[in-house]
Structure 1
Amino acid sequence: MLEKLRISLIFINLVLLKSLSLNHRMHNLYTKFVRILEICK
């Protein structure tokens, strides 16, 4: 489970790096994902 979360986080980071300047919504999605991760801890 934790490994899947880590892979997802890496994937989202890559997507974010590529599209942050183009798509601001991705940043919102990323922040929500990080909040979910914080809750899971």
Structure 2
Amino acid sequence: MEMPLSFSLLGNVKGKKVLDAGCGTGISSKILAQKGAKVSGIE
């Protein structure tokens, strides 16, 4: 899956806590989790 520019602007997210507000199907949450973030999503 290609990573949008906005994710590269976040830098290294490994070990960081991320809230994905308005996560929809969770695509962004999945990408961030694969990069090592601890993700919580809410629609």
Scaled by the length of structure 1, the TM-score of the pair is 0.31
More strand, by proportion? 2
Which structure's residues are more often helix, by fraction? 1
Q: Which of structures 1 and 2 has the bigger CA Rg?
A: 1
Structure with higher RCO (Cα < 8 A, 6+ apart)? 2
Q: TM-score, normalised by structure 2?
A: 0.30
